[in-house]
Structure 1
């Protein structure tokens, strides 16, 4: 499949790369890492990365605004996105050919070519594997800019290599990427430094989380709480891992109120939670998923079902 993707890349003069809404470092890492990789090897091609920008990821890259006519006769590649409903920029279907590259469960088998590897720690890891294939097949070169982005994506999706998804291969790839010329300290600072108001919110989370006897934990962040700490719903993504530090927690959910919905961020140390996410308009990995609730009543049902999952897991 990797060689088929490379063949398609070589056929098109214009390539547009998409990723998922509400991006994280792996979304940007895989999207822009692929963009910089292709630019280094095909300088005469026009290669774009599109989607709504998340200011917290400016340290990595900034997407481009492109007109509708650019999509005509173009190759579209979507990275790190399990289903079409989560693809950022709905114009993805107006190109000539669509390729899906992803590491989430393949519930939505979209695209003319699909390369899905659920064993990969991240989509950025897959882009590196594509580079290895391209190096052997077409003498591809890796650029420093691409290496930096792919490293950031891998770090982000493995939680600095602490999640079970970080395999021996993941560490091998990371070891290869750090041989390139980029500032790892700058990458880590961009990913993990927090504004003082966000740290104050973290203190609120530690003071107000709830946990039951089976290790199910949750925190509700209402619009009023976010306004008090002057934090956006998107900013709270940097704090999702906070509850993992609590002894006895085996799964947890962040409930973040937005204008018309409640963002649901589910994480786990063992119980499978992506099926729960699917019940509430979402999905994701077995131990890291996202969903959406449209009322606090619905959000409370997420909490109740998470508690039951943890109870069954501890039996």
Structure 2
């Protein structure tokens, strides 16, 4: 598999080789790509440089945490003067450990729009469907032999979850080549897919609820409010409730869809789109994300109604 060599490939290698202490961060409420890219990079560095101190940073939460190793308690002195690598995190407020500020030097590796230059160096590919794909490309450049199976699995989880099983518009031939490279490690795809995709009965029932209680606008906007009593009914955390925003993706008339999940009297809004750019709407309300997948947080009910009107205007 031929992978072009961006200028930063060599720079990342040099930074890793020059630092004996490395901390790897990602965003809070981690999804598969945040976890996958983080644990793949941590594991790869430990595998190739066993004498280095390498730590995965952040809280252990999210619905996919069972697919990744437990996090260690990292002391302040272990973070101090380390090389900090921050993955899959568009802006500084979303970094899941403020101690990145104590790092001697910081690198940002991401595929979100580059709106916050919070690190000393930033390696951004906004066309990449996932940060895990970027990390996998760098690992191939470093050593094209098949990865250890567990590292390949971490990256594959990240790619699959951020691309919705390779179905989003940014997926291209390069993405599938990278996936093929990961499969050379020999892991059981079907078994791993079950671990990622099988759901508990309460989540299954919750998705049924969303599909039967959503509002479907005639121009293609689909949305559903999820108040606290519904979250309690299905025994969900706010984060779990938000994660099912793609419950509406298969509806043929859906062009843009959103979940508005109540928390502490305010609403967290997750927005997805088939092919209409919507991140500018999220940004208007202090949020952001990708062109077709974004979010806004802690909005009043009145703000959510305004946001829905703005989404309708995108479709007109």
Would the TM-score normalized by the shorter structure come out above 0.5?
Answer: yes
CA contact under 8 A between 1:256 and 1:262: conserved in structure 2?
yes
**Alignment-derived partner of residue 158 in structure 1:** 163
Name the SS for the 1:236 alignment partner. helix
Aligned-residue Cα RMSD (Å) equals 1.4
Q: How does 1:142-221 map to 2 (within 5 A)?
A: 142-221=147-226
1:11 partnered with 2:18: yes
Shift in Å at residue 110 of structure 1?
A: 2.0
- Corresponding residue SS for 2:244: helix
1:262/1:292 contact within 8 Å kept: yes
Matched residue of 2:136: which SS? helix
Measured in 1, the distance between the counterparts of 2:153 and 2:187 equals 6
1:59-138 to 2 correspondence within 5 Å? 59-61=66-68, 62-135=70-143
Q: CA deviation at 1:155?
A: 0.3
| Partner Cα separation in structure 1 for residue 193 and residue 276 of structure 2 | 29
Q: Secondary structure at the match of 1:219?
A: strand
- CA separation in 2, counterparts of 1:100 and 1:55? 22
Contact 1:223 1:257 in 2 (8 A): yes
In 2, Cα distance between equivalents of 1:241 and 1:105: 22
Counterpart position of 1:253: 258
1:215-259 superposed Cα distances (whole Å, 9 cap, x missing partner)? 011110010111111111111244211101111110011111123
The unaligned stretches of length 5 or more in structure 2 are 1-7
How many residue pairs get aligned? The number is 308
Cα distance in 2 for partners of 1:229, 1:60 equals 23
TM-score in terms of structure 2 length: 0.94
Counterpart check, 1:230 vs 2:238: no
Match of 2:49 among 20, 42, 52: 42
Name the counterpart of 1:54. 61
